[in-house]
Amino acid sequence: MTLIRLLARPMLASMFVYGGFNSMRKPEGPAQRAKPVTDKVNDLKDQVAPQLPLPRDEKQLVRLNGAAQVVAGLALATGRLPRLSSMVLAASLAPTTAAGHRFWEESDPTTRANQTLHFLKNVSMMGGLLLATVDTEGKPGVAWRTSHAVGSARRSGRALRKQAKASAKLAGKQAKSQARQASKRVTP
């Protein structure tokens, strides 16, 4: 792991670990702000996947989102499954931003400016997380390895087919030669 990744991952994860712990300990404030979003999420869940075992209570949803942020944040900070943990954090940030920073609903200019700032901060963090989801640390990604494995298998298959044809041709020549020699011995 490079020095940049060693420093940047914990820096990016720090806000999620801190915010996630706070949401788990004191979900009342965030749950109140999240109600319009959690109502929509619950309606969508009921339509799309009613069997999905998600809590309906805003406090429980806020705690669940906070737990996801803590676990994924710690994983990202320590370099464990960094691409997956970045994806989880990005997914958890979307409802957090939509619920907590609805600046368009604010009438007070100071509050509106503050919420706009936090909204844009979260959008910026989302950008960093999305970059982290595609960071392969200079190693080939799964898509590249898969396509090259297929190409390698094709080349190996062609080489084996060519070798098999050459072996079959040689075996055929040897069989004809042996048959001619056998017929010469038998013929008086």
**Total residues belonging to the chain:** 188
**Does 74 share its domain with 128?**
yes
| pLDDT value of position 186 | 66
**Does 41 share its domain with 116?**
yes
Nearest to 57 by CA among 31, 37, 81: 31
**Does 169 share its domain with 123?**
no
Nearest to 61 by CA among 90, 87, 23, 93: 23
Task: Give the tens place of pLDDT for each residue, 112-122.
Answer: 999 999 999 99
Nearest to 97 by CA among 21, 14, 45, 19: 19
In a domain, 140, yes or no: no
Q: Which ranges of the chain have pLDDT less than 50?
A: none
Using CA atoms, how far apart are residues 82 and 132, in angstroms rounded to an integer? Answer: 7
DSSP string of 47-109? HH-TTS----SHHHHHHHHHHHHHHHHHHHHHTSSHHHHHHHHHHHHHHHHHHH--GGG--SH
| pLDDT value of position 57 | 87
**Does 85 share its domain with 160?**
no
**Does 165 share its domain with 74?**
no
In the three-class reduction of DSSP (H, G, I as helix; E, B as strand; rest coil), residue 18 is classed as helix
| pLDDT value of position 127 | 94
**Does 66 share its domain with 158?**
no
| pLDDT value of position 188 | 59
**Does 90 share its domain with 183?**
no
Domain containing residue 7: 3-133
In a domain, 141, yes or no: no
What is the total count of domains within the chain? 2
**Does 120 share its domain with 54?**
yes
**Does 88 share its domain with 129?**
yes
Using CA atoms, how far apart are residues 19 and 62, in angstroms rounded to an integer? Answer: 11
Using CA atoms, how far apart are residues 37 and 127, in angstroms rounded to an integer? Answer: 22
**Does 127 share its domain with 151?**
no
**Does 20 share its domain with 94?**
yes
